[in-house]
């Protein structure tokens, strides 16, 4: 692979804009040199990209997706500058197959996964998968999921996930309270705090971060009491001081997933139309669709309040969408742009704070030390856009170039 020099670019390094006219040299798939002012020497055979008037930033990270076996999701995500996605529950063999693809191709987003979620019999997400899946053998697949009942089953679960390539552990604390769905039993079975604490402890003993699904304040407090490192969704209830204190006690982070919250409640249709404007056919229909499963007494305004209040309290917010091919109202990559737009226009983030949530903060919290920032030695996973997204988040859509492992993407959009 020949070298690439991106010159005269405004550089947002994942934390701040560090220059309005800098130069970044890519060699062997990594960022080899950065100059914030003076031009760099041009190696023989180097491709030069004049980025005058553009902003270079780290490739975006979506901290909550469901890839399953869907290579198309990764092909689509990278078209929007999303170079890494975090997979929040998958069959280990499916993840292993997807990982082989990401190692062989640079025209797809990279994936880090939790493998199997920490499930129990008849608990989440089995209840929802049985309701919505079109898969003929879904019951058989679910029957093979973990059923964590004691320390021995938990330790076996962690060991199998690690062996399959899992990078972190996802806990489930969902009783179905916020959803207008015909679950077989209400409440949906959930693990005890003791089981959740044992999952967290075993994960930490194996060097694995923990993140939990929870949609209410009660469930959020339960997993925070168990010691979880972060939440995979914002609560859909009005925030209270007890929730803020619990986040602070754990130094926990939050992945809001506003995109899927809006789909579940049927809100934000006008802004969804904004991000589907360049789509056609079934892709457009899917993004404009809504799940409409949230009970009427809950509103996304509560979620905006949760995100804003926690951010103001110093809690790290990581950009994540809960995108899946099966979930109406989401689209790989496009939902990251929508999510960032909502952080700015609904949750009172500055554009720069929104960008940080989709780059360096996620890399820092998930210990992805080779990406998320423009630094010498890191992977050349990069996004070049027209204008300045640190001042106007809408500029993130004006994509001029995407690189993964130093290879420039041939964009199809």
Tens-digit pLDDT profile for residues 197-229: 999 999 999 999 999 999 999 999 999 999 999
- Which DSSP string do the residues of 39-100 spell out, in sequence order? PPP--TT-EEEE-TTEEEEEPEEEEEE--TT-HHHHHHHHHTTEEEEEE-S--HHHHHHHHH
Q: Which of 319, 345, 350, 339 is nearest to 275 (CA)?
A: 339
Q: Is residue 47 located within the same domain as residue 67?
A: no
Q: What is the pLDDT of residues 23-46, one digit of tens each?
A: 999 999 999 999 999 999 999 999
Q: Is residue 132's pLDDT more than 80?
A: no
Q: Is residue 133's pLDDT more than 80?
A: no
Please give the pLDDT value at position 413. Answer: 62
Q: Is residue 83 located within the same domain as residue 31?
A: no
Q: Is residue 4 located within the same domain as residue 112?
A: no
For the full predicted model, state whether its pTM sits above 0.75: yes
**Residues 6+ away with beta carbon under 8 Å from 52:** 8, 9, 21
Q: Is residue 280 located within the same domain as residue 332?
A: yes
Alpha-carbon 77 to chain mean position: 11
Please give the pLDDT value at position 134. Answer: 76
Q: Is residue 278 located within the same domain as residue 395?
A: no
* Average pLDDT for the chain: 97
Please give the pLDDT value at position 409. Answer: 98
Q: Is residue 19 located within the same domain as residue 114?
A: no
Q: What is the pLDDT of residues 326-382, one digit of tens each?
A: 899 999 999 999 999 999 999 999 999 999 999 999 999 999 999 999 999 999 999
Q: Is residue 250 located within the same domain as residue 390?
A: no
Bridge partner list, 209? 168
Query: In percent, how much of the chain has pLDDT > 70?
Result: 100
User: Phi first, then psi: what are they for 408, rounded to 5°?
Assistant: -75, 135
Bridge partner list, 169? 210
CATH of the domain at 292: 3.20.20.140
Reported residue count of the chain is: 413
Q: Is residue 81's pLDDT more than 80?
A: yes
Cα gap 293→118, rounded to integer Å: 24
Q: Is residue 396's pLDDT more than 70?
A: yes
Q: Is residue 411's pLDDT more than 90?
A: no
Q: Is residue 38 located within the same domain as residue 158?
A: no
Please give the pLDDT value at position 70. Answer: 97
Place of tokens 């990982």: 99
Place of tokens 């990559």: 333
Bridge partner list, 66? none
Cα gap 304→323, rounded to integer Å: 19
Give mean pLDDT, residues 395-410. Answer: 98
Using pLDDT thresholds of 50, 70 and 90, give the confidence band for residue 157.
Answer: very high
- H helices present in 320-359, as ranges: 334-346, 351-357
Please give the pLDDT value at position 128. Answer: 80
Please give the pLDDT value at position 99. Answer: 98
Instruction: Find the domain containing 120 and state its range.
Output: 60-370
Orientation angle between helical segments 241-250 and 300-312, nearest 10 degrees:
50
Number of CB atoms found within 10 A of residue 100's CB: 10
């Amino acid at each position: 692979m020949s070298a690439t020099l991106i010159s005269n670019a405004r550089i947002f390094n994942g934390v701040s804009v560090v220059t309005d006219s800098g130069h970044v040299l890519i060699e062997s798939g990594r960022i080899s040199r950065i100059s914030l002012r003076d031009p760099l020497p041009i190696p023989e055979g180097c491709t030069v990209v004049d980025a005058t008037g553009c902003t270079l930033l780290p490739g975006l990270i979506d901290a909550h997706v469901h890839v399953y076996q869907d290579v198309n999701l990764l092909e689509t995500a990278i078209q929007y500058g999303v170079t890494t996605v975090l997979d929040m529950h998958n069959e280990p063999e499916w993840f292993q197959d997807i990982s082989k693809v990401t190692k062989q191709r640079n025209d797809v987003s990279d994936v880090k996964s939790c493998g199997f979620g920490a499930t129990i019999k008849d608990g989440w997400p089995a209840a929802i998968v049985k309701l919505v899946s079109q898969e003929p053998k879904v019951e058989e697949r679910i029957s093979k999921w973990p059923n964590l009942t004691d320390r021995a089953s938990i330790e076996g679960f962690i060991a199998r996930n690690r062996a399959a390539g899992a990078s972190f552990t996802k806990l489930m604390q969902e009783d179905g309270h916020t959803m207008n769905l015909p679950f077989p039993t209400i409440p949906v079975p959930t693990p005890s705090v003791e089981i959740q604490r044992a999952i967290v402890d075993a994960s930490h003993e194996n060097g694995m971060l923990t993140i939990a699904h929870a949609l209410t304040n009660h469930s959020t407090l339960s997993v925070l009491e168990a010691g979880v490192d972060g939440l995979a969704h914002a609560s859909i209830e009005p925030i209270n001081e007890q929730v803020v204190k619990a986040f602070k006690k754990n130094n926990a982070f939050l992945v809001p997933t506003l995109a899927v919250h809006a789909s579940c409640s049927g809100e934000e249709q006008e802004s969804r139309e904004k991000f589907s404007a360049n789509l056609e056919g079934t892709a457009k229909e899917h993004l404009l669709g809504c799940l409409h499963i949230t009970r009427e007494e809950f509103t996304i305004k509560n979620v905006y309040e949760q995100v804003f209040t926690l951010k103001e309290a110093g809690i790290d917010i990581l950009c994540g969408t809960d995108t899946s091919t099966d979930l109406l109202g989401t689209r790989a990559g496009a939902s990251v742009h929508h999510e960032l737009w909502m952080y700015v226009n609904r949750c009172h983030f500055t554009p720069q704070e929104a960008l940080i949530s989709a780059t360096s903060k996620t890399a820092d919290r998930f210990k992805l030390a080779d990406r998320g920032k423009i630094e010498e030695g890191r992977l050349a996973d990069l996004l070049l856009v027209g204008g300045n997204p640190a001042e106007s988040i809408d500029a993130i859509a004006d994509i001029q170039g995407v690189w993964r492992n130093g290879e420039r993407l041939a964009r199809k959009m």
